[in-house]
Amino acid sequence: MEKRFKRQLGGFTLIELLVVVLIIGILSAIALPQYEKAVEKSRAAEAIVTLKALRDAQTACFLERSYGDPACMQGDNDDNNLFDYVDLNIGDQTQMCDYGATAGPANKNFEYWLDGQYIMAVRRPCDKYTLETTAYQSNYEDQSVNNITCSNNDTKDWCKILGL
């Protein structure tokens, strides 16, 4: 005689569920930091494109007007500066984090401002890292002429992560 065993159809055992949760946790722990880096790289790429556009606009302004014209830099007032000269939709005028000066436009990720020859993008919230460029040659060797340089202000070395 053949005995038939009654088979119970049902759910998963507790051990099986714990193993699945553990695997998902391990995958998340590996993937989330990589995702954070990828998102930050895309934000920095956006700022770099904007900095290059501002740098090119500053160079064109110097050629059109004259070298050192305040309208090609931050200027003496908010109505006469590079941000008014160039038609870039960056964001609204804002107060800079710790610099005490009126900055240029800002969006939720970066604040843009000019300090003489320097064009900067400061990563929000206040000073995670700073991207900087200049549009013309000077006597200073540490100037970032036609390059984008990065200075890190956070405990995490964003400049190294971004490859700058």
Q: pLDDT: is 6 or 107 the higher one?
A: 107
- pLDDT level of residue 22 (50, 70, 90 thresholds): very high
Q: C-alpha 86: how far from its chain's center?
A: 21
Lowest mean pLDDT among 43-52, 91-100, 146-155: 91-100
How far apart are the C-alpha atoms of 96 and 155, rounded to whole Å?
21
Q: How many domains does the chain have?
A: 1
Tell me how far CA of residue 2 lies from CA of 6, 8, 9, 71, 102, in angstroms. 13, 19, 21, 97, 89
pLDDT tens, 124-137? 776 688 888 876 65
Residue 138 in any domain: the answer is yes
- What is the percent of the chain where pLDDT is above 70? 68
**149-152 sheet: strands from edge to edge:** 92-95, 102-106, 110-115, 118-123, 129-134, 149-152
* Bridge partners, 92 (sequence order): 106
Residue 82 in any domain: the answer is yes
How far apart are the C-alpha atoms of 143 and 127, rounded to whole Å?
20
Residue 9 in any domain: the answer is no
How far apart are the C-alpha atoms of 121 and 128, rounded to whole Å?
11
How far apart are the C-alpha atoms of 113 and 123, rounded to whole Å?
12
pLDDT tens, 138-147? 555 555 566 7
Structural domain of 147: 18-162
pLDDT tens, 61-73? 878 887 777 777 7
Q: C-alpha 146: how far from its chain's center?
A: 18
pTM over 0.75: no
Residue 11 in any domain: the answer is no
Residue 2 in any domain: the answer is no
